[in-house]
Amino acid sequence: MSNPCIFCRIINGEIPAKKLYEDDEVFAFWDLSPQAPKHFLVIPKKHLSGPGAVSVEDEAVIGKVVRIGAELAREHGVEQCRLVMNNGAEAGQTVFHLHLHVLGGRPMSWPPG
């Protein structure tokens, strides 16, 4: 049976995505439903269901996810951006493979909805 996780399937090339970056630990791609002029996702290749599933051994790769997110934003002309990780359905998480949203290219308001 194929992996039911949509982001694992994107990493494996089973579902097409517009890739921005890939190394042995991290994958980044444009969001299918952008909420800002620039909106992409950065994910660890290791399947973690969300921020609540991060253990001590994952700390380094999560730091890398943040660094890559900010670097890619800069490369795409976005110096100031919002980095978001939703943790759980009530917080707005719909895909249960940890992902960092990087949104930029427009003014942002606070608090989020």
- Rule CB under 6 A: say whether 65 interacts with ligand 5GP: no
Query: Which residue in the set 38, 39, 97, 101 belongs to the binding site for Zn ion (CB under 5 A)?
Result: 97
Q: How far is CA 77 from the centre of its chain?
A: 18
- Specify whether the CB–CB gap between 40 and 20 falls below 8 A: yes
- Rule CB under 6 A: say whether 83 interacts with ligand 5GP: no
Q: How far is CA 6 from the centre of its chain?
A: 13
Q: Which residue numbers are catalytic? A: 99
- Rule CB under 5 A: say whether 5 interacts with Zn ion: yes
CA 73/CA 30 separation, integer angstroms = 11
- Rule CB under 6 A: say whether 92 interacts with ligand 5GP: yes
Query: Which residue in the set 86, 98, 102, 103 belongs to the binding site for ligand 5GP (CB under 6 A)?
Result: 86
3-class secondary structure, 17: coil
Closest contact distance (angstroms) between CB of 71 and ligand 5GP is 19
Note if the bond before 37 is cis, omega within 30 degrees. Answer: no
Kindly list the residues in this chain that would bind ligand 5GP in the complex (CB under 6 A): 6, 15, 17, 29-33, 86, 92-95
